[in-house]
């Protein structure tokens, strides 16, 4: 696996909101102490997107909100909704309050991707 690709995947995974190509480029430039061309970042992002399109992954990398983020694929949203509903009903403390907004954001981002918003 490509060393740069692993670092970019990690950034997408850890970013609290969609991360832009330029933010990725700046991080990688500092990390490697070398100027990384935006073209290289874009090509690597395309390989990452294609990798996660495979059926073996329940999530993918999607461009939304001006950047990239990991989102659950639509086929798995029903099970996640059930889990969040159960956790919320049980009153699992802060977890339910944090997960539900995240789930709403995912639905909003998906609708945005499809041009419904």
Whether the per-residue pLDDT at 24 is higher than 90: the answer is yes
Show the tokens assigned to 24: 């990725």
Q: Which structural domains are found in the chain, ordered by start?
A: 1-72 (1.10.10.10), 73-117 (no CATH)
- 3-class state of residue 13 by DSSP: helix
CA angle, 26 as apex, 37 and 57 as ends, to 5°? 85
For residue 102, the model assigns a pLDDT of 58
Q: What pTM did the predictor assign?
A: 0.73
Whether the per-residue pLDDT at 22 is higher than 70: the answer is yes
Show the tokens assigned to 15: 């970013």
The pLDDT of 5-22, averaged and rounded, is 97
Longest CA–CA separation in the chain, Å: 50
The pLDDT of 84-94, averaged and rounded, is 74
């Amino acid at each position: 696996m490509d060393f740069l690709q692993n670092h970019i995947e990690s950034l997408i995974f850890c970013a609290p909101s969609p991360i832009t190509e330029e933010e990725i480029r700046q991080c990688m430039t500092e990390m490697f102490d070398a100027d990384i061309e935006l073209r290289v970042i874009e090509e690597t992002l395309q390989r990452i997107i294609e990798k996660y399109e495979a059926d073996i992954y329940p999530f993918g990398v999607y461009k939304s909100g001006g950047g990239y983020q990991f989102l659950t694929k639509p086929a798995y949203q029903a099970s996640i909704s059930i889990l969040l509903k159960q956790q919320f009903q049980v009153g699992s403390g802060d977890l339910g309050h944090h997960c539900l907004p995240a789930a709403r954001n995912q639905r909003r981002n998906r609708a945005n991707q499809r041009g419904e918003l």
